[in-house]
Amino acid sequence: WAHVQDDASALARLCAGAIGICIDKHHKLPAYKPQIMTPKEYGYTCLDRLLESGFSSATIFQEGTKALTFLADSLPKSEEIEEKQNF
């Protein structure tokens, strides 16, 4: 069962990091600096701050999943990349 806990922890960190990038309009979470920290490290910091601020893990998962979906949808699709390469 250890791998299940590790997977849940990793997902929680990713969700918290996505919240920090997409939803934190009041700048209560640190800015993401990819040259200094990995997404996992950033997510860990955001997760700690969110939990300390009283957010439940369910809320972090729910809102973080929305933010991750938004980020994934903003990535260029393979068709778009091929069109630009053929231009």
Beta-strand ranges (E) seen in the chain are none
* pTM as predicted: 0.79
The more confidently predicted of residues 86 and 36 is: 36
pLDDT at 10 over 50: yes
Query: Which amino acid makes up residue 58?
Result: A
**pLDDT (average), residues 71-81:** 79
How far is the first Cα of the chain from the last one, in angstroms, to the nearest whole number?
50
pLDDT at 87 over 90: no
Other CB atoms closer than 10 Å to residue 47's CB: what's the count? 24
In this structure, what token pair is assigned to residue 84? 């630009």
